[in-house]
Chain A
């Protein structure tokens, strides 16, 4: 028969074990691994380019990373300049997100024998003037003068966009004073 003292000791032991503490060490280990992974894959980029949902960029082996510049994005539905919608393409049932999207401009949007896209031209001129104003107010000076407008236009387009559309955009850009075209693509890691 167990003694009275033995029973008391067992009760005390049970009381001690009833206060349980959460083991945070293993959780800390997992979080440290995640933080290290994220810090390793974190890249500080010099641009504010972001991809648009539904836009399938082509792959490229080019080693050059794009620096910040004025950006035109050709989505299946519309054309945007600096994240502002400039015009809509002619919509067909196949257009949004489809492989048959045509990216055709409305006749009223075209000028100069169908080569210049008027709303895009206006938006690019506006963006250029804004950049030139910022450059003139900037403290950066070259021989006492503000830094010149570089005239770089970044083009982000879906892989299915035809050259016909890109050409009109490039021609319009050239008319608005842009002399360098920067085509964006997804980095091909293979």
Chain B
């Protein structure tokens, strides 16, 4: 990334050099033509050089853009993968404390903003520091009086940016509340159209829309009036730079204290002192966005993942053995114990229910079996293998899990069923769909199993989403089945139908079900009761 930055800054600096060359050549040609009877052929080299200098400036701009884009893309790509890998390492227990929408926005447009910060803003910032110095150095060499004028004006740039920048931030903060509430009002009026129609108040709604739009215009303009001040100040200083330099040069020419060549060349170069500063200031907004996102991303990357859950070369536990919870406690960072000292055992082919009120740790116990949360103390054993030092990938291949609130991924119903086994045959998918009782829902959908599920499964009902999760678990084919609150979205009759269709699949498998009531599945061998509140609960289970 650093060489990219150097190339981009060098290209910018070279552009500045072409401007100086261009000014020198133009001044030379004009001076020679005005001084004597010069023909075009006398100044051909200068004319060609002039055209070439202008064109070269364009080419260098191209190089700068290209390198900047490359930098942005490579920074963003690498950062996104690192960020998301870390998110997965941190796992569900960390994610539970985060807002998914905000995190996703950080991983998409936030990461892009960081890329733009490195690709575009940083080179521009370097150039804003170097280019004026380079131009001023040339002016000092050519005409020190003009140097004094320009230095005097450039010195005013930073205080102007700081002063007006602060005012602009204050104005934006002042207006923000009003702006966002007007935007929200516009949205509620459009979303509330059914209510407006039902009560015959459409005209009121239209009036309010017009008024909110007018209010938005007025308060936005109030903000802009201040926000545009810093570019007004910069442009004013740049204009004055040319104007005052022209005046001083003109007066000195009258007295014969300088030459036409010097006057023209300095005049043409003077705007270039301010241009990089104006560009960097115009990019200030993008830079602020990139900086904010960068801080957020750094905070995530600096969060240490919970105790490692996957160990290389670890023994593969066998799901055909007894599963034993021995005084298992799970502490979630900053939120106290989610599961406290739980002990129980499930023999192969048996069914155990973990019951208790909401928040008593039922789901956490299932998550611990899957290694989705790290066990703080105690052990979970599969046969004689301690899961905390086992090959989790091999273990998870033997465990079928139906989460309480299953997530559906972008794609069709069938894609979602295939999550664990994308190469599964159509017949296997159809069988899993039948087992989960999803076939009736598929008939209702426009394109059956090929119907897209919508964002987060929005096009399916809660009950249908859960049936997709069951079909997914069936297709996964684990010998251990973890069911988390499967009845909560279904009415009594639907639950009966589900029990009936799932029963043959559950037969001969080891089943752990988390539920409010133990009657959620039949044929239970044991019931583990969890108390409430969580941290105070002394959980007891059947004898080990």
A-B interaction: no
